[in-house]
Chains A and B, each alone.
Chain A
Amino acid sequence: MTLAKYRTIFGVGLQNTLVYRWNFLLRSVFEVIPLLGTVFLWRAIFASRHEPVGGYGFGSMIYYFLLTNLVTNLITPTEDEWQIAADIREGQINSLLVKPLDYLGYRVSLFLGYRVTYSALTLPLVLGLFVCFSRYVTLPRHGETWAWGLLSLTLAAFLQFFVTYAVAMLAFWILEISTVVFIVYSFEYFLSGHLFPLDLLPGGVRRLTDWLPFSYELFFPVAVIQESIRGPALYQGLVIQAVWVAVMWGVGQLMWRRGVRRYQAFGG
């Protein structure tokens, strides 16, 4: 019974994304431009040097960016924070609070629904890119990498979602969350490995990123799939990643409880 409820919400999430398929398709199409820009940039850099950069040759660098593109398309929440903030600001949660429904469970079901449709919509494009650059794609050499990759990818999805959720919870206290969203996003952009692989950072900063949540949102699963992180470093990373997921879940839940207590149900 309980599960059936959330399965229905998951279905709503699926359909919601499908309605706005053009919006999401275009978004994904436009993401190809910076990706190609990055390929050109590294081509120019590798034209004048032949030894690898931070452990990456030209081929593995391109493969790295292909994988970040794939992972982003698979797991990054697209509009969840805006929807949650609007739910709170405009009093939509009134109708949810009176239902026998856990709000986080509701949002997670929607999120999963969104991700499935979004990924299905954009997968042809992403696969097309993999085909275009297929000579740089190297499938994992070790069978277990698939399992570890899938695990860290799942954890990364929940980490990204819980960060998004916690940020959106701020809507209980402030009217406009967009500045906070963009501040968090800028940290994610530079420290999650979106713009460059974190191995390029100087040693001290690189080690610091191992303890921050951002690298586990994107860089870590990509590095696991690319097999640049293996052995003890892999296990340590997975543990830290799981801890961050739990922490962000806790923060989100705490904010929700505090928020609802001071919530005054505007609108309706």
Chain B
Amino acid sequence: MTRYWQIYRLLLRNSLIREASFKANFLLWLLTELLWFLGQILFVEVLFRSTEEIGDWSKWEVVLLIGTHQIISQVFQAVFYVNLANLPDLVRTGRLDLLLLLPVDPQFSVSTKQFGLDNLINVGIGATFVLFSLGKLGIVPQPWQVGCYAAAILLGAMIHYAIMFALATLSFWIVRAQGLIYGYFNVVSIARYPDVVFSGLFKLIFTWLIPVVVVSNVPARLLVRAASHPALLMLHLVGVCILALATSRVLWQHALRRYSSASS
């Protein structure tokens, strides 16, 4: 475990040096992500021009939900996104060979090579919106709520990871797999809606099997609806997180067995 830490620290250092040498790129990505986020806030403005509530969520509760979604997805993107997005290409070109030869768990080496510093700044922007919404709602969370919120953020980021990792492993079967990366964004796009709008089979699938609906809703509920079963919510999140990680791990191992490299 300490060895992995040491390796990760080196990788992190490398990424920071890399970022420092592509400053314009760094700023552009920052701007891109900011635009996306502001677009979503605009969307909330538009929605709440025509309604007072969505389900029983008020406007600032929804802004808090979207801010939370932003924090979680940016934490995930900072640590893992670029690496997983590159996986289909590694498989297609056979460059995965090099990573498989390293004396570490291959899942670790394909997941952690690069770190996105710009995403961390976007985490801050998401957090600002969350704090602002709390102010608008007049809520001062208890220390335990803040602790649970932070833990839920990390669990949520791991669920994002499991979903995208599972999608990326499909590239072992279908050669070109850019579609899978769009798949990730399509799947998590429903994470920013209040859970109460969903029902039926759709809700069942996306709260248990591909648990995107709970990812942002649980931490948001922990802050704004402290009274409604916080322990159960956390338990649900932990449960589906473990399930998702385990499933993606099994898929990955299955996929690796199928890998036969490419060209020379």
Instruction: Using CB atoms and an 8 Å cutoff, list the residues of chain A in contact with chain B.
Output: 20, 22-27, 30-31, 33-34, 36-37, 40-41, 43-45, 48-49, 53-54, 79, 82, 176, 179-180, 182-183, 186-187, 189-190, 195-196, 200-202
In the complex, the answer to whether A31 meets B186 with C-beta atoms within 8 Å is: yes
Q: Is B259 an interface residue (CB 8 A)?
A: no
In the complex, the answer to whether A48 meets B53 with C-beta atoms within 8 Å is: yes
Q: Is B142 an interface residue (CB 8 A)?
A: no
The interface centre, meaning the residue of B47, B49, B179 with most chain A CB atoms within 10 A of its CB, is B179
> Would A49 and B202 be within 8 Å (CB), given that A23-B179, A44-B197 are in contact?
no
* Interface of chain B, main secondary structure: helix
Contact of A40 among B174, B182, B199 (CB under 8 A): B199
In the complex, the answer to whether A183 meets B28 with C-beta atoms within 8 Å is: yes
In the complex, the answer to whether B179 meets A40 with C-beta atoms within 8 Å is: no
Instruction: Using CB atoms and an 8 Å cutoff, list the residues of chain B in contact with chain A.
Output: 25, 28-29, 31-32, 35-36, 39, 42-43, 46-47, 49-55, 170, 173-180, 182-183, 186-187, 189-190, 193-194, 196-199, 202
Residues on A with beta carbons closer than 8 Å to the beta carbon of B175: 20, 22-23
- The smallest C-beta distance from B142 to any residue of chain A, in angstroms, reads 29
Residues on B with beta carbons closer than 8 Å to the beta carbon of A54: 50
- The smallest C-beta distance from A231 to any residue of chain B, in angstroms, reads 26
In the complex, the answer to whether A36 meets B46 with C-beta atoms within 8 Å is: no
- The smallest C-beta distance from B176 to any residue of chain A, in angstroms, reads 5
> Would A189 and B202 be within 8 Å (CB), given that A23-B176, A27-B179, A183-B28 are in contact?
no
> Would A30 and B186 be within 8 Å (CB), given that A40-B198, A45-B54 are in contact?
yes
Residue of B nearest to A21 (CB): B174
- The smallest C-beta distance from A225 to any residue of chain B, in angstroms, reads 22
**A176, B52: Cα distance in complex, Å:** 43
Residues on A with beta carbons closer than 8 Å to the beta carbon of B182: 27, 30-31
Given contacts A37-B189, A44-B197, 9 further A-B pairs with CB under 8 A are: A23-B179, A24-B179, A26-B177, A26-B183, A33-B187, A37-B190, A48-B51, A79-B178, A190-B42
Residues on A with beta carbons closer than 8 Å to the beta carbon of B47: 41, 45, 196
The interface centre, meaning the residue of A33, A82, A202 with most chain B CB atoms within 10 A of its CB, is A33
**A22, B171: Cα distance in complex, Å:** 10
Interface pairs (13), CB distance under 8 Å: A22-B173, A22-B175, A26-B170, A26-B179, A27-B179, A30-B183, A34-B189, A34-B190, A40-B193, A53-B50, A179-B32, A187-B35, A189-B39
In the complex, the answer to whether A176 meets B186 with C-beta atoms within 8 Å is: no
Residue of B nearest to A35 (CB): B186
In the complex, the answer to whether B35 meets A23 with C-beta atoms within 8 Å is: no
- The smallest C-beta distance from B102 to any residue of chain A, in angstroms, reads 27
In the complex, the answer to whether A23 meets B50 with C-beta atoms within 8 Å is: no
**A22, B167: Cα distance in complex, Å:** 13
In the complex, the answer to whether B176 meets A33 with C-beta atoms within 8 Å is: no
**A182, B29: Cα distance in complex, Å:** 9
Residues on B with beta carbons closer than 8 Å to the beta carbon of A23: 174-180
In the complex, the answer to whether A41 meets B54 with C-beta atoms within 8 Å is: yes
Contact of B46 among A33, A34, A187, A200 (CB under 8 A): A200
Residues on B with beta carbons closer than 8 Å to the beta carbon of A180: 28
Residues on A with beta carbons closer than 8 Å to the beta carbon of B176: 20, 23
